[in-house]
Amino acid sequence: MDSEKRQKESRVKLLITGNEAIAESAIQAGCRFYAGYPITPQNELTAYMAHHMQDRGGVFIQAEAETAAINMVYGASAAGARAMTSSSSPGISLKQEGISYLAGAELPSVIVNIMRGGPGLGNIAPAQSDYFQATRSGGHGDYHCLVLAPSTVQECYDLTALAFELSDKYRVPAIILGDGMLGQMMEPIVVTKFRAPSLKQSNKPWALTGCKDRKANVVKSFYLKEGDLEKFNLKLQSKYQKIQREEERWEELFLNDVKIVLVAYGSMARIAKGAVKALREKGKKVGLIRPISLWPFPKKAFAKIRKQYLVIEMSYGQMLEDVQLAVNGQAGIEFLGRSGGGVPSEAEIIAKVNKIYHG
């Protein structure tokens, strides 16, 4: 939502963490069911839901396991409610079964991943190493989740509500992909009052409500008869193509008269932005593309032929592959990445840019 419109609608300001902003946005957006399991660094989100959901007409459950949490979301969504779960990397791995079933049953749902270092138990430092898992269908089967990557606490708030909207619109699971830095960080935000549909008003004729005055509804992802599953998969694919056409989102900075375009998302983009501004002050022709939707990846942002890109991630090169696909050999691509607790610093970025610039 643009800032002008936001100002008109409401001027409630909050100083809040990214985790809490996601939770508050979900409640404002009409999330009526939340189930979660404790895992760092997203616990503030679960605690916020525990404090607020019941008082504001929703259901909060601390699930016995990540698998249970995601399957409770499946049930709540099947019953027509806006539903959400959240976790961090190892917990999101456990949820993959459920996410595949949500995609297969075309159930809207929002899944929040506040990423930490991996693989395995890894650590609790911020990371971006679940990009492949989020954008490539982390579970089994040919499916996609819509993936949105906030970069500020305000965006945590705005994109979570958008995730609910898009998830309902296309009947696909939507992922909010943040990281521990963003989840823990406190920033002032402007709170918008969203117009959330109530359970009774929501337009979900497929939902399980009891078969009064209509034929029985079935929520399922099982197509055993020859040809049926292929037909269903083709339907999913055409939906995904529509999402790819219509839902690319990104931010651009200084892309006119540019020699090197930095590409970064989420927390990493904030650091990259600082580097771009510092370099511009020194007269360096540097710009930035910040993907906001990671799936669909904003290919249109790369349509213009440019000379040189520098992809920066808190991973060892995952979004890098999407940039390579988008650029398709039409420009040079350099990479700077750290993961497992390391975050590329502004100074590291500047040094890398200078090396490419003069190299």
Q: What length does the chain have?
A: 359
**Closer Cβ to another protein, 216 or 305, answer by number:** 216
Q: By CB under 8 A, is residue 63 in contact with another protein?
A: yes
Stretch that binds another protein, among 12-20, 61-69, 114-122, 298-306 (CB under 8 A): 61-69
Tokens of 209: 């409500």
Q: Are strands 332-337 and 308-313 parallel, antiparallel or unpaired?
A: parallel
Q: By CB under 8 A, is residue 75 in contact with another protein?
A: yes
The single residue among 8, 195, 205, 224 that binds another protein, judged by CB under 8 A, is: 224
**Closer Cβ to another protein, 70 or 292, answer by number:** 70
Q: By CB under 8 A, is residue 219 in contact with another protein?
A: yes
Place of tokens 């971006």: 128
- Residue 248 CB coordination number (10 Å): 17
Q: Assign residue 11 a region (left: φ > 0; alpha: ψ between -120 and 50; beta: otherwise).
A: alpha
CA 132, 136, 138: angle at the middle one, nearest 5? 85
**Closer Cβ to another protein, 62 or 324, answer by number:** 62
Q: By CB under 8 A, is residue 145 in contact with another protein?
A: no
Within 47-151, strands assigned E span 59-62, 82-87, 109-115, 146-148
Going by C-beta distance under 8 Å and a sequence separation of 6 or more, which residues neighbour residue 358?
none
Residues near another protein (CB under 8 A), total: 42
Q: By CB under 8 A, is residue 65 in contact with another protein?
A: yes
Site string for another protein, 3-42 (x = CB under 8 A): -----------------------------xx-x-------
In angstroms, the CA 87 to CA 134 distance is: 13
Minimum CB separation from another protein for residue 211, in Å? 5
Place of tokens 């750290």: 338
Minimum CB separation from another protein for residue 94, in Å? 12
**Cα Rg of the chain (Å, integer):** 21
Q: By CB under 8 A, is residue 141 in contact with another protein?
A: no
The single residue among 97, 165, 321, 334 that binds another protein, judged by CB under 8 A, is: 97
Stretch that binds another protein, among 3-11, 72-80, 165-173, 262-270 (CB under 8 A): 72-80
Residue 296, burial from CB neighbour count under 10 angstroms (0-12, 13-18, 19+): buried
Q: Would you tell me which residues interact with another protein (CB under 8 A)?
A: 32-33, 35, 59, 61, 63-65, 67-69, 71-81, 83, 97-98, 101, 105, 199, 208-213, 216-222, 224
